[in-house]
Structure 1
Amino acid sequence: AISIGQIAIERLRGRKIEAMQWASLALVVVLGGISIATNNPVFAMIKPSVAQAAIGIVMLKPDWMARYLPQIVTDNVSRRALIGWGYVWAALMLALAAANVFVAFNFDAKIWAAYTFFVPLPAKVALFFLQYLWIRSAVRRSIRGRAALQTA
């Protein structure tokens, strides 16, 4: 319901609905429906992989990250670098999807639960901070470089 509401609000405001928003809505509707229909614990363990893989595939679109970045970043970091970070995020999501399938099929529910608690979120947080530090450094270098050219 929240995803549908967000898309409705964006449409009313005349904004374009991005691929990530459509993918999120589709995942919620499809996976939620399958969960209710099957009531299968194995599906519950595999469901994060489906979501992560779908998000990873959407993240393969070159400029998916652009709408989330402030102008200071897009003005000071090359498009190529930002697209590269988008691909790094896609690779992480696809790797997490594969790892979850492996753990779900090769270990018991307790190990799977521990994996889902200790791996996906910390991996995303770690990549977020790594990207943040890299982009912050790149922005500072760019601004300092332009300032040095103006004073020279």
Structure 2
Amino acid sequence: MPKLFALLLGAIALSAAPCRADSGAPVLDRWYPALFAADAEKLASLLTDDAEIRMDDLGITQTKQEFLGSLGEWKDSIEGASFDWRLDTGVPATDSGATALVCYRFPANELYTREVFTFAGGRITGSVQTMEGESCADF
């Protein structure tokens, strides 16, 4: 169950919401659609081999392989879900990192998260996710 809940927060994200064509963080423009499609192949291509996914509120850290291995549970949990995300305008996106604010709308609940990414060579080296709230009202 912690693995499933970690995925719900992880990020770490298919929906009817449109994908952003140019958010200023091209890696994230590909990350979120792949996350909500539970597309292991695309997600794997976006993560470096030594990438680390952290869910701070839960005290969970996953390696790339652990994250990819949990996508089956994630796929089941996103049925009927939708999402939206945007870059945090208070933190400029660069080639080495970006911060996203994400609203996950599951059939039974909502989660509003802040996801801080680090990049190298156009791929994700790390992600630290914290919950902003249990509602997307402030999104």
Measured against the shorter chain, the TM-score band is: under 0.3
Q: Which one has the largest radius of gyration?
A: 1
**Higher helix fraction: Structure 1 or Structure 2?**
1
**Higher strand fraction: Structure 1 or Structure 2?**
2
Q: TM-score, normalised by structure 2?
A: 0.26
